[in-house]
Structure 1
Amino acid sequence: MYKGYAVKNSMKINYIDNQILDSLKTPLIICPGLSEECTDYESIVKTLNDRRCVALSFRGRGNSSNADNGYTLEKHIEDIDLVVNELRLDKFCLMGYSRGVSYALGYVISNLNKIRGLIVGEYPAEHKSMNKGWAKEQMDVYNRHDLSVSITYDVLKSIEIDSKYKDFSTDLNKVKCPTLVLKGEKEDTLLSKSDISKYINNLGSKSIRIEKFSNSGHDIMKSELFQMIISIKNFLNYIDSTIL
């Protein structure tokens, strides 16, 4: 497993890469959630051994640089762009999980010509604004449950300050590539029935798959990782079959 950096000026974005360079199958790029880093997705990157697979750590997470110029939605989209350009990737599937979905959606809508498929996991089609005090509450949750996370309070506070609500619904009609939505069925899911309806009713895609995980809430990777990987594999194989 190769671990590298995409670098621009003082910003270094860490990524992992299975470096399967000789495959003609659609590559996958993974955008982790709020407090995750690229290595949290190492099992998926390794398992998808028939194609290129890359996962990145957004600014302020893991071994990526802290940002002097902010943590806005646009800056997170720049992190994806930096990795894509560093690895010279084109015609790939982009996956976002949890808050990583909003960063992925922002990238896709601005780079439609590069995208063969979209995977959204456990998050609505929006970039949420965080209320004052959210960062402290979030860090308290991590500490209370003794969770090991790759984000500091200072970064959370910067995200809180820079967060600005954006509804992607009006832009989803531009997204015409096949789309897979991953949804936990338990109480702590972050995808409501109305959120699912927004995806179905607004996406421009003619191929929308909704995969439901009955034994999971928000954290499908912890509860049903094997089944999640199967769903991703099947979806990627479907994308490949449409371009042959």
Structure 2
Amino acid sequence: MESERTGRTPARVSARDDGVRRPGGDAVSVFVDNDGVRLHALDNGRVSDSPPVVVIPGMGEYADEYAWMLDRLGDRRVVVADLRGRGRSDAPHTGYAWEDHIGDLRAVAEALELERPILVAISRGSSYALGYALRFPDRLSGLVVGDYSARHVGLPAEYAEQQLRMKVRGVPVAERMPEHAVRAVIAESREAPLWDRLVELRCPVLVLRGGRRGRVLTDELAEQWRTSLPSVEMATIAGAGHDLWSRDPDAYLAALLPFLDRISPD
């Protein structure tokens, strides 16, 4: 999306392998350029007949935390993306709008030649995945939304202090992202309701939610998903809250893998 707005050259792979093996077997770090922003991803590099999977962490999370998934999704090629301001990716001082993050996903998919991937998103990463799916409906094989509504949430300025103090798996967001990036994500956010646009999706959709306190998707919001997108598949991970996998990765995979297995290559 960024390259479309500026008219500049689309993304490219700027470094295929930094030579450093990450947790997750044969995974390597990959760097992609999106209009001057260097983006990092983990890539298991596998060749498979199954559609590739792109994992999109939530706010304040980074790819290395999801390296365990690279070897747990069967024989699929799996890429875990660090969007701008996260992990090993660049953290520019501006450029954190919804469209910029969608552009990061496009850069990763195009530069790594991921044909019709399945997007597996967590928390706020889900709104970026939804944005990509709506912008490029014919370029996906499937979409997994992780405990999130069909909206891109516009955040008030005062939320920045709360976000910086918030902890994800015991680590404050202030230690996970540069402060200016957190503030820019919030400052450049805008409310974008997507419920009425779900009918535009052309791929299978799975919505995962937790069964414990702290989940975002209440029973009422789950019903809104079913009403707005009758074809949606939904699964509840009984032991999870909003953090869908850290308590029990196997329970998360038990909800995710059957959906992935039902999506066949074209």
In the superposition, the TM-score normalised over structure 1's length comes to: 0.92
Alignment of 1:131 onto 2:156: yes
Secondary structure of 1:221's match? coil
CA RMSD in angstroms comes to 1.7
Superposition map of 1:84-95 within 5 A = 84-95=109-120
Runs of 4+ in 1 over 2 A off after TM superposition: 145-150
Check conservation: 1:136, 1:153, Cα contact below 8 A: no
2:46 to 20, 38, 48: 20
Q: Compute the displacement of 1:81 (Å).
A: 0.5
Q: How many residues align?
A: 238
1:51-73: CA deviation from partner (whole Å, max 9, x where unpaired): 11111011000110012442000
1:173-226: CA deviation from partner (whole Å, max 9, x where unpaired): 0113211111101110011122212221222x63x2211111111112111211
Q: Compute the displacement of 1:146 (Å).
A: 4.5
2:64 to 29, 32, 39: 39
1:135-162: CA deviation from partner (whole Å, max 9, x where unpaired): 111112239x544752122111111110
Structure 2: segments with no counterpart, 5+ residues: 1-26
- Separation (CA, whole Å) in 2 of partners of 1:215 and 1:8: 38
Check conservation: 2:205, 2:233, Cα contact below 8 A: yes
Question: What residue in structure 1 maps to residue 128 of structure 2?
Answer: 103
1:27-79: CA deviation from partner (whole Å, max 9, x where unpaired): 11111101011111111122124111111011000110012442000000011
Larger helix proportion of the pair: 1
Alignment of 1:181 onto 2:181: no
Question: What residue in structure 1 maps to residue 14 of structure 2?
Answer: none
- Separation (CA, whole Å) in 1 of partners of 2:218 and 2:117: 28
Secondary structure of 2:253's match? helix
Question: What residue in structure 1 maps to residue 217 of structure 2?
Answer: 191
Question: Given the superposition, is the C-alpha separation of residues 225 and 24 from structure 1 closer, same or farther in structure 2, using an over 3 Å criterion?
Answer: same
Alignment of 1:236 onto 2:260: yes
Alignment of 1:154 onto 2:210: no
Identity among equivalent positions (%) equals: 26
Q: Compute the displacement of 1:85 (Å).
A: 0.8
Alignment of 1:59 onto 2:120: no
- Separation (CA, whole Å) in 2 of partners of 1:176 and 1:199: 16
Structure 1: segments with no counterpart, 5+ residues: none
Amino acid paired to 2:248: E
Amino acid paired to 1:75: D
- Separation (CA, whole Å) in 1 of partners of 2:117 and 2:224: 24
